[in-house]
Amino acid sequence: MNKDIPPDFKVPGFLAAGISAGIKKNREKDLALIYSEVPSVAAGVFTTNRVKAAPVLLSMERIKAGRARAILINSGSANACTGKKGLTDGRRLSRLIASSLKINPGNVLLASTGVIGKPLPMSLIEKNLPRLLSSLAPDGLGNVARAIVTTDTFPKAVILRQQVNGREITLAGIAKGAGMISPQMATLLSFVITDASISLKALRQSLKEGVQESFNRVIVDGDMSTNDTLLILANGEAKNREITLGTPGYKKFVLFLHDLLFSLAQKIASDGEGATKLVVIAVEGACTASEAERVARAVATSALVKTAFFGEDANWGRILCAAGYSGAPIDPNKIDVYFDDVALVRRGQGAGPAMEEQATAVMKKKEYTVRINLNRGKKRVSFFTTDFSFDYVKINASYRS
């Protein structure tokens, strides 16, 4: 898996910048801005946690209009559980950015990540806004990717180019997320920009479809963040025929966006806090997609299963146990479990010591698939998950220190 910022990482009509404003103790980049030089349609999905950070509340309200020009992001302070001050600070930063860029404050979206309950260091941010604005450049998106990370070990960045409706369009995305990762788009920060010409309805629907099959299928620790946000801006600079719902161009764009989000999701899962393994939980043979998802989520979230992954222990009983409490109407006597191509469980019973030994060999790999066949139907679902290591506890035990 490529962990570097891709070459030629830029999208026509967009400028970006990421700088160190001193919000983080380590003086790494922590303040970023993405700006479209022309009006853009915008869509977003946000955390389903009832405790929502100030930037989430403000962006959720502004995204309803379907228009945006700028995204201001900081790391090191979540601006969550900060009361009216958090909202006031967010609005003030929006006005300052809007004034400098000569745009409407309602066209400025916000995102923050960091320690919950910690107010924004407004004096630091305001002092550094002029430098942030003067740093805006076509090739600045890589610095944004670096500025939004917290416990991540590498910046997540993907760029794709493809012909859609008569023109080549560019789709670029960045993301952060190493802990507090669980489905329901309550998991991370991600920002996608494209020069595609696309209707607002088509953009919203394509994002909804893309998220369901990518970010909503990633589990690191099962915790749901207060801040998680995915935003997409499309500025039309590719000059393609407008992409609209129900057309061949739309279908092509949905697959295009899915590929980008899936790649970002895979990078996020591989960089789970302290993770040493990336495991795909693939449930098949279900009667419904919901049934398959319940089983996959239960197995992917189980602390006992994840610690077994870390210990390279082919403890298939933990997998069947998680499937059993998932709430899905399974028949335990029909379940088969495979580690890659190794049949570990057949019809709900262990396949014997020799197969366990082969499965243990599979578990020594950095990436592998646990395939669970319910043998009830034809529906299937896959989730990304990771192991739980000693380092996961160390990282989260000292997060604020």
- State the pLDDT at residue 338: 98
Residues of the chain with CATH 3.60.70.12: 14-270
Chain segment 138-151, per-residue pLDDT in tens = 999 999 999 998 87
Chain segment 291-312, per-residue pLDDT in tens = 999 999 999 989 999 999 999 9
Per DSSP bridges, beta strands 108-115 and 156-164 are unpaired
CATH architecture entry for 278-397: Roll (3.10)
Given the candidates 3.30.10.20, 3.40.50.720, 3.60.70.12, 2.40.50.140, the CATH classification of the domain at 14-270 is: 3.60.70.12
Residues catalogued as catalytic: 187
- State the pLDDT at residue 226: 84
8 A C-beta contact, residue 217 and residue 383: yes
Which tokens sit at 183?
């489905």
Give, in order, the Cα–Cα distances in Å from 161 to each of 201, 232, 293, 324, 352: 22, 16, 31, 43, 48
Nearest-5° angle of CA 196, CA 192, CA 228? 145
118 exposure class (CB count in 10 Å sphere: 0-12, 13-18, 19+): middle
pTM of the model: 0.82
Q: How many Å from the N-terminal Cα to the C-terminal Cα in the chain?
A: 31
- State the pLDDT at residue 224: 63
Per DSSP bridges, beta strands 367-373 and 336-339 are antiparallel
Residues of the chain with CATH 3.10.20.340: 278-397
- State the pLDDT at residue 228: 84
Name residues of the chain where pLDDT drops below 50. Answer: 179-187, 221-222, 401
